[in-house]
Amino acid sequence: MALFKKRTVGKPGEWYYCLEHKKVEEGPECPAKDRMGPYATRAEAEHAMDTARERNLEWENDPRWHDAAGRATDDD
């Protein structure tokens, strides 16, 4: 008996965005490496790439992540 069962059918209400096919799917149809999610609604999954783009911009402009590169040391 397998310890972990591979889920072949997704749960209703779980939405994913497939990066390979560039489409929204209910439940995981494509491999995990090719999808983003789960999202609570179809609309959230449809905007997955926009959400990722916005989060990337926030991260790139967040001084907490880039504080060492622009800060002068006390030794200068």
76 residues of the chain, pLDDT tens digit each: 556 555 555 677 899 999 999 999 998 889 999 999 999 999 999 999 999 999 999 999 888 876 665 555 545 4
Measured CA to CA, the distance from residue 62 to residue 52 in angstroms comes to 15
Question: Which domain does 40 fall in, by range?
Answer: 15-64
User: In a 3-state reduction of DSSP, which class is residue 72?
Assistant: coil
What pLDDT is recorded for position 46?
97
Answer yes or no: is 3 within a domain: no
How many independent structural domains does the chain possess? 1
Q: Is the dihedral of CA 17, 22, 23, 25 positive or negative?
A: negative
Q: Is residue 24 helix, strand or coil?
A: strand
Assigned domain for 44 exists: yes
